[in-house]
Structure 1
Amino acid sequence: MVYRYWCGECGFKTPWSAESEGLRRHVEHYAGRHPGTPPGGQVESRGRGRGGARACLQLAAVALVLLAVLATCRR
C-alpha cells in the first residue's frame, strides 16, 4: 500500500509513498508551515498496482459470459 497525506489547513499533499515516509513529510509540513497546530487533514491509501480496475473489468466480462451461457441453456 502507498499513502498520500493531505493538510487540513492548506492545499498541501504529500506524494504517494510508504506510510512512514508520508507521515514524516506530513508532520514536517505542519512543523514548518503551521507551527503549534497539531497535524490534521486526510489520508488516502491505494494498492501499489493499478490492477483493481482491470480485475473489475475481468469480473464483469465473466459475468456477461455466464449470463449468455445461461440464456442459451434456457431455450
Structure 2
Amino acid sequence: MAYRYRCGECGFKTSWGTESQGEQQQIAHYADRHAGLAPGGQVETNTKNPDGGNSCLTFIVIAILLLVLASSCHR
C-alpha cells in the first residue's frame, strides 16, 4: 500500500511512498515551513495502485521481448 501525507497548514503533500517515508517528509516540511507546530493533516492511502503501476509495465515489456526473441529464433 502507498501513502501520501497532506499538510494541515498549507497545500503541501508528500509524494506516494511507504508510510515511514511520508511521515519523514511531513516532519521535514513542518520543521522547514511551520517551525514550532506539531505535524498534522491527513494521510491518504492508495490501495488501487500501490506500486505506481510499474508491475503492469514490466509485464508488457517482458512479453514484447519474448515475442521478439521467439520471432528471431524462428527464422
Q: TM-score range by the shorter chain?
A: 0.5 to 0.7
Query: C-alpha separation between the residues in 2 aligned to 1:49 and 1:28?
Result: 24
CA distance in 2, matches of 1:49, 1:38: 30
Given that 2:15 and 2:22 are in contact with CA atoms closer than 8 Å, whether structure 1 keeps it comes out as yes
Structure-1 residue corresponding to 2:15: 15
Identity %: 56
Bigger Cα Rg: 1
Q: Which runs of 5+ in 1 are unaligned?
A: 51-75
Please tell me the residue identity of whatever aligns with 1:26. Q
**Distance (Å, rounded) in 2 between the aligned partners of 1:30 and 1:11:** 12
Report Cα offsets for 1:9-44 as digits up to 9, x if no partner. Answer: 000000100111010000000000000000000000
Aligned-pair Cα RMSD in Å: 1.7
TM-score by length of 1: 0.63
Corresponding position of 1:32: 32
TM-score, normalization by structure 2:
0.63
Q: Equivalent residue of 2:4, what SS?
A: strand
